[in-house]
Structure 1
Amino acid sequence: MRTILKVDSLVKKFGGLTAVSNVSLQLKEDELVALIGPNGAGKTTVFNLLTGVISQTSGTIRFREKEDLISLNNKKAYQIASLGCARTFQNIRLFKNMTVLDNVLVAMTNQYKEGFLKSIFRFPSFYRTEDEILKKARDLLAIFDLDKDMYKLASNLPYGIQRRLEIVRGLAMQPKILFLDEPAAGMNPEETADLTRLIRKIQKQFHITVLLIEHDMSLVMNLAERIYVLDQGKMLAEGTPSEIQQNKAVIKAYLGEEG
């Protein structure tokens, strides 16, 4: 598998505080990788750097565009998203006063190619494109069993369904990489089990790379092919789930002792 994202010596400083220190990682096409670590380890800061929410102090981030790895340094979040990177957040960020369908349609605006004049004067091609995108949105909702809720306001959905919608909205952007920031946060065991099945379904059906931050270790160990471990802003370990489970440095970081 080809490398789709390559990060070298990433550093982020906030004043005198170094939140991320010399972090390097890479993602392959069509793999599911987890980024874990104790609270305050710098996981979300790394996500924010990779998706352009904040800019790095130093280091390089490169993303595969066709045959080449291009630099994402100094690119804005919308530019990175347009290249094929979608994300969710720890706190759900749906448009609460819009319907389920409209939340997905908003994410698909990058698929309108009609241009300014055709959009203003509403040429026939504009309506054809609009119908195609509406069908795609409905089909996507049906795949994830959200079609029955498509006309409900997002604010009226149960918490677990809101989480699912946020992930589906990310998929609607047709990303190459999907960044999931603590998707199981606040979920009960039944909702977490549903989420695990959902992420597996995404991986199998859409063949995209997934980078996952998560504190639920059973979910991580069940899903991830590889795991990166951060501690105090530094990369502590990298390996398969079984290797991470047996890593003494990781055990010490989580438990405060070696066994």
Structure 2
Amino acid sequence: MSLLEVKELTKNFGGLAAVSNVDFVIEENELIGLIGPNGAGKTTFFNLLTGVYVPTEGTIELEKDGEKILLNGKAPYKITDLGLARTFQNIRLFKELTVMDNVLIAMHSKKGSNTFHSLFRTPTYYRAEEEMRTKALELLAIFELENKYDVLAKNLPYGEQRRLEIVRALATKPKILFLDEPAAGMNPQETAELTALIRKIQKDFKITVVLIEHDMSLVMNVCERIYVLEYGRLLAHGTPEEIQKNPAVIKAYLGGD
């Protein structure tokens, strides 16, 4: 049984079909790429899967505990609770908060809180808070951000803000992590480091990673399967080798005649 199965997904804005009749399957512990020209519908597709938009047609089904859960129409926070997390093309951090607080907010959203303990600041509350801070530091250490825990997010260099956004997403303990152009704005050294980091995330956290990316060296180096969108429609799907040799993909996106 697939972890996430998308069938005939469509999103219309007025008379424009931003995503049209797309089928997409995600298995456990995969690294999947989603590529295509600007305006192909990639971010809209992510927005549909994570509850930002409601599909016009089609279904999105998540396998959980042997049952299929329909995600259509569920609020983003409910989809996050079910194990789908994401980053954004334009970084969306709480920039006036510290690195630590950005991660703790994500952890609280997953854990929830007991009103009594929170209101009266009982020993149980303080123990839980300390445990979360310890786990947050451990997570930050994986991304070499533990020494920046008290820095305001807005004061981090661009590449570290990207890493913090990934940390915050992982703090929700997702089954699937969607990365929207994680290498955007990065220099070649930062992109190489990100490539290694994405592999490490998928391996160490044992989760599925789906990424939108224009850097083809990154996509071809880390992805096991690749989907290609053009004008909102699925143009091709296959291994990196198959995609690189696909005449339609070469013509539409990879620079062929």
1:1-259 mapped onto 2 (5 Å cutoff): 2-254=1-253, 257-258=256-257
1:96 is displaced (CA, Å) by 1.1
Select between 14-23 and 103-112 the one with higher mean Cα deviation.
103-112
Q: TM-score under structure 1 normalisation?
A: 0.96
1:50 is displaced (CA, Å) by 0.3
**In the superposition, relative to structure 1, how do residues 210 and 152 fare at CA in structure 2: closer, same or farther (>3 Å)?**
same
Greater than 4 Å deviation, 4+ residue runs: 255-258
Q: Secondary structure at the match of 2:211?
A: strand
**In the superposition, relative to structure 1, how do residues 157 and 235 fare at CA in structure 2: closer, same or farther (>3 Å)?**
same
Q: Distance in 2 between matches of 1:121 and 1:112?
A: 18
Residue by residue, what CA displacement relative to the aligned partner does 1:109-157 show, whole Å, maximum 9, x if unpaired?
A: 1343542222212232222211111110011111211111111111111
**In the superposition, relative to structure 1, how do residues 255 and 241 fare at CA in structure 2: closer, same or farther (>3 Å)?**
closer
- Identity, in percent, stands at 64
Q: What amino acid is the match of 2:52?
A: V
- Number of residue-to-residue matches in the alignment: 257
Instruction: Report if aligned partners of 1:112, 1:129 keep a CA contact under 8 Å in 2.
Output: no
Residue by residue, what CA displacement relative to the aligned partner does 1:33-60 show, whole Å, maximum 9, x if unpaired?
A: 0000011100000000000001110100
Q: Secondary structure at the match of 2:44?
A: helix
Residue by residue, what CA displacement relative to the aligned partner does 1:59-111 show, whole Å, maximum 9, x if unpaired?
A: 00011222112100110111101111110000111111111111111110134
Q: Secondary structure at the match of 1:39?
A: coil
Instruction: Report if aligned partners of 1:4, 1:69 keep a CA contact under 8 Å in 2.
Output: no
Q: Distance in 2 between matches of 1:186 and 1:45?
A: 21
Instruction: Report if aligned partners of 1:224, 1:241 keep a CA contact under 8 Å in 2.
Output: yes
Select between 110-119 and 27-36 the one with higher mean Cα deviation.
110-119
Q: Distance in 2 between matches of 1:7 and 1:163?
A: 28
1:255 is displaced (CA, Å) by 5.2
Residue by residue, what CA displacement relative to the aligned partner does 1:10-39 show, whole Å, maximum 9, x if unpaired?
A: 000000111111001010011010000011
Q: Secondary structure at the match of 1:3?
A: coil
Instruction: Report if aligned partners of 1:42, 1:233 keep a CA contact under 8 Å in 2.
Output: yes
Q: TM-score under structure 2 normalisation?
A: 0.97
Q: What amino acid is the match of 1:220?
A: V
Unaligned ranges ≥5, structure 1? none
Q: Distance in 2 between matches of 1:57 and 1:113?
A: 32
Residue by residue, what CA displacement relative to the aligned partner does 1:200-248 show, whole Å, maximum 9, x if unpaired?
A: 1101110001110000000000000000000110001000000000000
